[in-house]
Amino acid sequence: MIKENLLQECPYIFFDLNKLSKDEITKREVKGRKTIKNNPWTDVFDTWFEYLKSSCKTEEEIINFISVYWAIQIPHCKKLPLGRDPYDFIGYLLAKIDVNKYEDFCNGIVTPIAIDVLGKSWENDAFIYYDYWNDPKVIEASKKYK
């Protein structure tokens, strides 16, 4: 029942950033943050990842989803739930977003997400040298989504 309710909220939470006012964006981000705070993170993540895979078909829709996801989850600093393969999540993004075409987006948003969920170090600027698109484990995980 929780996942069904969460799934129904997804179209509202994962809005098109280009079509809403700043005030409306803020309201929807607040709703997303409350969803994280008030529900088991495993259910939220699983539902949101399923929504991403089933409802976001174009690169632009996936980029929009990830942009909203990043903005919503930042205050919570959420890692992936226990038992979830972080390489699967990042591999999905690698398979679906052209790193060359969307280099700024990938460097600015996907790389920090990858660093967080893969447990890479933010200390000593180690993250500057991490390219998820060259990580053999991410590449392997991406193959099932191509």
Tens digits of per-residue pLDDT, 71-103? 888 656 667 887 889 899 999 999 999 999 999
Q: Which of 23, 53, 80 is the last residue of a domain?
A: 80
| Domain span holding position 122 | 85-146
Q: Which of 34, 52, 80 is the last residue of a domain?
A: 80
Tokens of 56: 């976001």
104 and 48 housed in the same domain: no
Q: Look up residue 133 and give its DSSP letter.
A: G
Q: Which of 80, 114, 133 is the last residue of a domain?
A: 80
Measured between alpha carbons, how far is 39 from 115 in angstroms, rounded to an integer? 24
Residue-wise pLDDT tens digits, 98-128:
999 999 998 888 888 888 888 765 555 555 6
Query: What is the pTM for the complete model shown?
Result: 0.88
93 and 25 housed in the same domain: no
